[in-house]
Amino acid sequence: MQAASVGDFRELARRRLPRFLFEYIDGGSYGEVTLKRNESDLADIALRQRVLRDVSQIDLSTRIFGQEFAMPVGLAPIGLAGMNARRGECQAVRAAEKAGIPFTLSTVSACPLDEVAAAARKPFWFQLYMIRDRGFMRDLLAQAAQVGCPTLVFTVDMPVPGSRYRDYRSGLAGAPGLTGNLRRFGQALMHPRWAWDVGLWGRPHALGNVAPVLGPNTGLEDFFAWMRSNFEPKVGWEDIAWIRSQWKGAIVIKGILDPDDAVLAMEAGADGLVVSNHGGRQLDGALSTARALPAIAEAVAGNITILADGGVRSGLDVVRMLALGADGVFLGRAWAYALAAGGEAAISRMLSLVEAEMRVAMALTGNTRIADIGEDAIERLT
């Protein structure tokens, strides 16, 4: 199948990946209400078509945190992404560079910071959770600074991990020891292309940034146990000051859904925030990003950079998010699907489709520059 949309890449990923990995990418928490709302609420926003305007020159370029980007789109941090294709984060960072957009490496990536830095030619961003072991956090921040990461994305909506039913049903979580390994091995055998590309030649199968503290316990069940016991539930706004003392670059707080929290993030000295519900993977029943974003933009726009993610499946969705008040938009599942479908080349293909869709949406709403896109480009949700 020749992929013509993010939905096509999703289907290709479903065919290629073992079930436990596809369900991890594709699923959300509990009943997946918020996961579904992210997509449906965004898709329900009508674009306002305008005609007889000169749209012969469309400029997608933008500037975020002092960096120039080809379009206001970035690749969001995704845990375990490197298991979707051989050394997957290294492939993704190269695709992002070619497209002229930022790539964000997750704390719980398969490829460690130094490996991704060796694969990259330009600086990439780094994502961090609040972890109980401050020494470990300090070391990670030092490593990220050493390899030249200019921006830290600090995720704050995971003081405790949400329960994802699909992961238990597939055997990714809650299946320790030999039983879990046999379930996952059996699923891998059903997908020989992945088993050859990643299972055999994509080793080591470890979370590169976390492996030093896991020691010999590097299995998937050890990863989930580590998350449950090491994420810091006591995290508070005062911790932003500690992060700032350790990090000299831009700080972006990811996981904001409430205008009051957006104001607090601004007052805490953050350079940016990400309006996000963790892709519907944490608090099920929470607001979709599309519904949360306008009030947040009204509260802090112009005083802090606003990024957004959640449910973005096309360039039209990117334009919708920009019209709702975002300065930039993160793609999450979209690039994970593409990586699984065909590695670096497929991510590049997906990004070219998003760019083309953005150009059409901008032309037909009468906007020729990113800065021109405002709420008059859409009909808001009621």
The alpha carbon of residue 59 and the mean position of all alpha carbons in its chain are separated, in whole angstroms, by 24
User: Which residue in the list 19, 278, 281, 320 is annotated as catalytic?
Assistant: 278
Query: Can you give the pLDDT at residue 209?
Result: 86
Q: How far apart are CA 326 and CA 42, in angstroms?
A: 13
Helix/strand/coil (H/E/C) assignment for every residue in the chain: CCCCCHHHHHHHHHHHCCHHHHHHHHCCCCCCHHHHHHHHHHHCCEECCCCCCCCCCCECCEEECCEEECCCEEECCCCCHHHCCCCHHHHHHHHHHHHCCCEEECCCCCCCHHHHHHHCCCCCEEEEECECCHHHHHHHHHHHHHCCCCEEEEECCCCCCCCCHHHHHHCCCCCCHHHHHHHHHHHHHCCHHHHHHHHHCCCCCCCCCCHHHHCCCCCHHHHHHHHHHHECCCCCCHHHHHHHHHCCCEEEEEEECCHHHHHHHHHCCCCEEEECCHHHCCCCCCCCHHHHHHHHHHHHECCEEEEECCCCCCHHHHHHHHHHCCCEEEECHHHHHHHHHHHHHHHHHHHHHHHHHHHHHHHHCCCCEHHHCCHHHEECCC
CA distances from 345 to 43, 72, 131, 297 (A): 27, 20, 35, 35
205 as an active site residue: the answer is no
Query: Can you give the pLDDT at residue 213?
Result: 67
Cβ-proximal residues to 89 (8 Å cutoff; 6+ apart), any chain? 81, 82, 105, 106, 109, 110, 111, 115, 116
**Comparing C-alpha atoms, which of 306, 308, 318 is closest to residue 354?**
318
Note whether 280 and 290 are within 8 A (CB): no
Query: Can you give the pLDDT at residue 172?
Result: 82
Mean pLDDT, 10 residues at a time, the chain of 382 residues: 95 96 95 98 96 97 97 96 96 98 95 97 95 88 97 94 88 71 83 90 82 62 67 87 95 98 97 98 97 98 97 98 98 98 98 98 98 93 64
Domain ranges for the chain: 6-379
* Choices 3.30.70.100, 3.20.20.70, 3.60.21.10, 3.40.50.970: CATH for 6-379: 3.20.20.70
Query: Can you give the pLDDT at residue 232?
Result: 79
Helix axes 6-16, 19-26, angle to 10 degrees: 150
The model carries a pTM of 0.95
